Structure 1
Amino acid sequence: MKKTVLITGASSGIGKATSLYFAQQGWNVIATMRSPENETELINDSHMLVTRLEVTDPDSIQIAIQQGIDKFGQIDALVNNAGYGQQGLFEAISPEKIRAQFEVNVFGMMNVTRAILPHFRSRKAGTVLTVSSGAGRVTTPLISIYCASKFAVEGFTESLAYELESQGIKVKLVEPGYIATSFYQRTVSDFAHDPSLTDYSTFNKEMEAFFESFAGGNNFTANEVAQVIFTAITDDSHQLRYVAGPDVEPLLTIRNSKPDQEYVEFMRKLFRPNSFQ
């Protein structure tokens, strides 16, 4: 029997690439998104169910899961991919935008996970994989709210893995670095600005130059992340975390190998080297 995966946020970027990659590997795919009526590519595959799922709308989650079970018989894996990144100085981000970031990245992910678990428990099998971020373990300036949401994802998922082990359910985290997708285009367009915060002018210019050079490096594509996701779900291991990006790997190595304060000082010098001369 062919296996089936449900993927959230499948309209673009990592979600769409992962949907296509699983289908190419012979899986049935429930590709979910907020506006399936706009999808033109995924609907052409007979082993693909394209349907609506909004992670902040519990009814839409239940309907999508049931549609997938009705069509394919069962669901073997969930890929929590839906999310976005709020950028900007903390002082420039409104409380409303902070709550929205957590509603999607944290509570939305929890909504989908909670909804699929009864199905997985009934079968004593299944894999819950969440697309986190390198920013869930290594922070940078100007994404404090995004980092906070992904740190929450990391903590929740690690704890959940211990719980669901008792039910025969595996839990995985994939941590991408910078990926050139529409996710980052939205991030740039939603960047929080407050012209009254002139005290940060010099710092903002320094960070703009830093991130421009960072984004031009040797980074993963969405398809490469999709391959990491597929490996994580199919490798039959109990490995929790999978790093997806050469830009993240050296920073995680430093974080894991140095005492905490030494790591913090290293990162401070990385972002503002002229301040330590």
Structure 2
Amino acid sequence: MAQTILITGASSGIGKATAQFFHDKGWNVIATMRKTEAGEDLAGLDNVFVAQLDVTDPGSIEQAVSDGIARFSAIDVLLNNAGYGAYGPLEAFAMERIRRQFDTNVIGLLAVTKAVLPHMRAAKSGTIVNISSIGGQMTFPFGTLYHGTKFAVEGMSEALHFELEPLGIKVKIVEPGMIKTDFGGRSFDFANDETLAEYQPSVAKMMAGMQAMQEQQDGSEPELVAEVIYTAVTDGTPAMRYPAGPDAVELLGNRKKLDDLTFIGGIKQQLGF
């Protein structure tokens, strides 16, 4: 009997690539997204069920989980992928935008997980994969909000591992590096207030440095992350963290072996700070 994965944020990027990858491997896929019209191509595939789900809307979460189980009888794997990145000086963000970042990347992840857990607990099995980032263990300037959420995902996932392992449920963390998605477009929320003059030299350096990094290093394809997610789900090992992309392997490796002063100094140098 085919296994079933529920994916949040499946309309594009990593989520869509993962839906396609698991479908090609013979899985049932519950591909969820805020606007289902973005998933028309996925909806045309056998054993793919496209459902409306907004991680900030509890009602849509419960409905998507219920409808997905009604369609495929179970949810064996949950991929918490939905999220976006807010960057800029903290003072430039209204509290509403600050809450939105945490509501989406942190509270939303917890809400979807909480909705799926009763079914996995009853089955005494399941796997939860949370998409973190290299930004869950290291930071870039002006990423206070985004990195705050991804550090939270890392801590929540590790703690959740302890309470779910005795129930037969695994927790995995996938940490992509630079990926060819629209993260710099609709999934990127940049705030700046030019009247905050003191920050502007650093903002300019950060923007120029990030652009130079993107030009120097071509990001990995979303399909690479999908393959890492599949490995995390199927490798049968107790491993918890899975870097995705050559830059992720390198940067996270350096983060582990270098002291804070050396590693952060290297980031400053690379970005021209």
Shift of 1:250: 2.0
| 8 Å CA contact 2:2, 2:27 repeated in 1 | yes
The separation in 2 between residues aligned to 1:187 and 1:92, in whole angstroms, is 18
| 8 Å CA contact 1:218, 1:246 repeated in 2 | no
Q: Give aligned-pair identity as a percent.
A: 46
| 8 Å CA contact 1:219, 1:246 repeated in 2 | no
Amino acid paired to 1:219: G
The separation in 2 between residues aligned to 1:264 and 1:45, in whole angstroms, is 46
Give the 5 Å matches for 1:100-119.
100-119=100-119
Gaps of 5+ in 1: none
The residue aligned with 2:199 is 200
Amino acid paired to 2:210: F
The separation in 2 between residues aligned to 1:265 and 1:233, in whole angstroms, is 36
Shift of 1:252: 1.4
Give the 5 Å matches for 1:131-210.
131-188=131-188, 190-210=189-209
The separation in 1 between residues aligned to 2:22 and 2:90, in whole angstroms, is 38
1:238 aligns with 2:265: no
**2:251 aligned counterpart, secondary structure:** helix
Give the 5 Å matches for 1:210-229.
210-216=209-215, 217-229=217-229
Shift of 1:251: 1.9
The separation in 1 between residues aligned to 2:187 and 2:35, in whole angstroms, is 19
The residue aligned with 2:67 is 67
Amino acid paired to 1:207: M
Shift of 1:42: 0.4
Q: Deviations over 1:153-205 (max 9, x none)?
A: 110101101110010000000011121212321245x3102010122222222
Amino acid paired to 1:251: L
**1:61 aligned counterpart, secondary structure:** helix
The residue aligned with 1:84 is 84
| 8 Å CA contact 1:172, 1:239 repeated in 2 | yes
**Which segments of structure 1 move beyond 4 Å, counting only runs of 4 or more?**
none
Amino acid paired to 1:242: Y
The residue aligned with 1:58 is 58
Amino acid paired to 2:185: Q
Q: Deviations over 1:126-156 (max 9, x none)?
A: 0000111110111001211100010011101
The separation in 1 between residues aligned to 2:68 and 2:249, in whole angstroms, is 36
| 8 Å CA contact 1:175, 1:242 repeated in 2 | yes
Amino acid paired to 2:132: S
The separation in 2 between residues aligned to 1:259 and 1:85, in whole angstroms, is 26
| 8 Å CA contact 1:13, 1:182 repeated in 2 | yes
Q: CA RMSD in A?
A: 1.4
Amino acid paired to 1:3: Q
| 8 Å CA contact 1:177, 1:244 repeated in 2 | yes
| 8 Å CA contact 2:55, 2:109 repeated in 1 | yes
Q: Deviations over 1:197-239 (max 9, x none)?
A: 1222222222122101111213211111111111111111111
| 8 Å CA contact 1:30, 1:50 repeated in 2 | yes
Amino acid paired to 2:68: G
Stretch moving more, 231-240 or 89-98: 89-98
The residue aligned with 1:125 is 125
Shift of 1:62: 1.4
Amino acid paired to 2:267: M
**2:173 aligned counterpart, secondary structure:** strand
Q: Deviations over 1:28-84 (max 9, x none)?
A: 000001111343210111200001111111221111111111111111100000111
**2:199 aligned counterpart, secondary structure:** helix
**1:230 aligned counterpart, secondary structure:** helix
The residue aligned with 2:10 is 10
Provide the aligned length of Structure 1 versus Structure 2. 272
Amino acid paired to 2:175: E
